[in-house]
Amino acid sequence: MTPKEAVAFAKEKGTKMVDLKFTDFIGIWQHFTVPVSEFSEDLFDDGLGFDGSSIRGWKPIHASDMLVVPDPSTAMMDPFNEVPTLSLICNIIDPITKESYTRDPRNIAAKAEVYLKSTGIGDTAFIGPEPEFFIFDDIRYGEGPDNSFYALDSAEGIWNTGREECPNLGYKPRHKEGYFPVPPTDSFQDLRTEMCLVMEQVGIAIECQHHEVATAGQAEIDMRFAPLLKMADQLMWFKYVIKNVAKRWGKTVTFMPKPVFGDNGTGMHTHMSIWKDGKPLFAGDGYGGMSELAMNFIGGILKHAKALNAFCNPSTNSYKRLVPGFEAPVNLAYSGRNRSASLRIPMYSSSPKAKRIEARFPDPSCNGYLAFSALLMAGLDGIQNKLDPGAPLDKDIYGLSPEELKDIPAAASSLEEALDALEADHEFLLKGDVFTQDVIDTWIEYKRKNEVAEVRLRPTPHEFFLYYDC
C-alpha cells in the first residue's frame, strides 16, 4: 500500500482517528492517536514529533526530539476501538539527520533483511514463531520494604479442584497434561478461536490453535511463516490481539516464560529458513534432508547461542524456564524429531519447501525484531565461516548420564550470564551495521541496571522459607 492508497483506504473505511504505533527498545508497543483531519500523504514524509526521552532505552532529555514516520504498507483498521481507527506501524527517524534511528528495533530488523541480500546467500529469511501464553482469571502482585507477593488464579488451575465454585465441575487439566484434551477440560476453545478470527482480520495467517501442556490455561496459536520484518510486525499484532480479546472475556494474558511453579514454562519455538529467487536453500541430501548451508546455519546458532540468549531470553524470568533436567531445551545440540535438543529439524514433510530449522530456546518475552535479527545474523555467520555443527544428538538428552552430558554445552543459566556472553561475543551482530555497538552497549547496560540488579536486590518468599531460622 502506498501513502496515497493508505489515505484512500482510511476514507473508504470511514476512519475518524489514526493510531500511530511503534516498538520501544525492550519490545512493547507504544502509540499515540491523531484525528483523521491530520492524516495526509505528507505525514509519510514529514512524520510527527514526540519525546524520545520518555521511551525506555532511547534518547537523553537534552536530545529528546524524534519523529515517527508511518509505514503505509502496515495500514490496518484497529479491531478494538469503538470509533473507526486506522492503525499504522511507524519507523523512528532522527529529526536532525533524517536518518533511521539505530535503536529503533524495527530499523534493526529491516537492516537484517538488507544485509542478508547483500551477502548473496539468499534474499528472504522466513520466520515462523510459535508463541505460547497463559490465560488467567486474576493476577495480583506487589512489593515494599516489608513484603513482596504474587498471586495468580485460573478456573482451570489444578489447584482449584477442591474450591467451592457452586458447583465445581472439575475438568481441570493436571500438571503437564494440558496437551491437548477436548472441551470441557479445555475450557478456552472459543476464546482462542475468537483470537484467531481477530488476527485474521488484521491480515495474520493462522495455522492452528490449541491448549498447551500446562494447567491453568496455557495456550498456543501458530502463525504461518512470513519474511522476518513482516513476522516481527505480526508478533506485535499477535500480542496486542490476544491481550485485548482476553480482556473482552474478563481474562488476562501473560507471555512471561515462567509464571506457574511446578509446570511447563512458556516458550516461543522459532522456525527459520532462507530462500533465494523463490527457492528454498535448506533442503539437501544431508542429515534430516538438509543442505550443507543449513547445517552451517545451525553451526552459527550453536556457536553464538549464549549471546543469543540475551535477546531471545531477555528476562530474568526466562531462566526459571531454562533449567537443566526439565523439558526446556538448555543443552546446545541439534537433532531431527528430538524435542529435547535446543535446535530441531522438523520431519513432518519431505518437501524442500518445508525444510527448516527450529530454535527451541527462545521465549515470547523477547523483542521479536531483535531476536529474529540476532538469530539470522548468527546463522549467516555460520554459513560465511562454514561452521560445522558436529554430530546430531538423537538420544533423549534428559536420559543421558552425567558422564555423557558433560561434553554437551548448555545455554546461559541466567540473564546475567547471557549479557556477559553478549558482551564478549557480538562481532557477528555488527556486520552490515545491523546491530550497532551503541545498541549492544545500551541493551546490556539497561538490562543489567534495570532488571538484573533490581531482581538481585530483593528477597523472595522462598528465601524466607529456606533461611529464616538460620
Write down the residue that cell numbers 490465560 correspond to. 135
Whether omega for the bond prior to residue 72 falls within 30 degrees of 0, making it cis, is: no
Grid coordinates representing 443 are 541493551
Catalytic entry in 19, 24, 222, 358: 358
Residues 183, 189 contacting (CB under 8 angstroms): yes
Active site residue 433: no
CA distance 206 to 201: 11
Active site residue 360: yes
Catalytic entry in 103, 211, 304, 360: 360
Active site residue 51: yes
What's the burial of 297, exposed, middle or buried (CB within 10 Å: 0-12/13-18/19+)? buried
What's the burial of 151, exposed, middle or buried (CB within 10 Å: 0-12/13-18/19+)? exposed
Catalytic entry in 19, 104, 113, 130: 130
Active site residue 269: yes
Catalytic entry in 78, 156, 220, 263: 220
Active site residue 220: yes
Active site residue 130: yes
Catalytic entry in 41, 339, 417, 425: 339
If we measure between CA atoms, which residue out of 312, 413, 418 comes closest to residue 364? 312
Using alpha carbons only, give the angle 316, 318, 319 rounded to the nearest 5 degrees. 80
CA 441 remoteness from chain centre: 21
CA 427 remoteness from chain centre: 23
Catalytic entry in 51, 143, 165, 292: 51
CA 52 remoteness from chain centre: 24
Active site residue 132: yes
Catalytic entry in 103, 192, 211, 269: 269
Catalytic entry in 78, 104, 113, 212: 212
Active site residue 404: no
- DSSP code, position 225: P
Catalytic entry in 24, 71, 104, 132: 132
Secondary structure (DSSP) of 198-233: HHHHTT--EEEEEE-SSTTTEEEEEEPPEEHHHHHH
Residues 411, 361 contacting (CB under 8 angstroms): yes
Annotated catalytic sites, by residue?
A: 51, 130, 132, 212, 220, 269, 339, 358, 360
